[in-house]
Structure 1
Amino acid sequence: MSVIYILLTISIIVAIVFFVAFIVSVRNGQFDDTYTPSIRMLFDDELVGEGKKKTTILTKDKQS
């Protein structure tokens, strides 16, 4: 039974450490990126589009 108390105490201490680390990172501005989420889908579409263009150009060259 004493092992459960020790493990519970250790897990609470670890949870508090991670919570404090999260609060410190939020206060330091670690998660303050307002630009990237708004354009993330534009970058994904361009990469997929460029890949398709390259494959269509290669298939046209092979056929002619």
Structure 2
Amino acid sequence: MASQRPKVKTATMTLRVDPKIKAAAEAAAEREHRSITSLIEVLILDHCRSLGLTAGQNGKEQQQ
């Protein structure tokens, strides 16, 4: 019997950006051999860390 991999839970985000920003993101992702999703995830995590936030915390929890 083959073991099943655990399902990874993800959330969907929809956003609109200027086409020039999208093109820049595509170029950056390609340069780093990433998907755009992976690039955006890394950028968001880096920014959150710079604010003292970590994954799993929201702003209200961190500020208390």
Give the TM-score normalised by structure 1. 0.30
More helix by share: 1
Give the TM-score normalised by structure 2. 0.30
Q: Which has the higher contact order (CA 8 A, sep 6+)?
A: 2
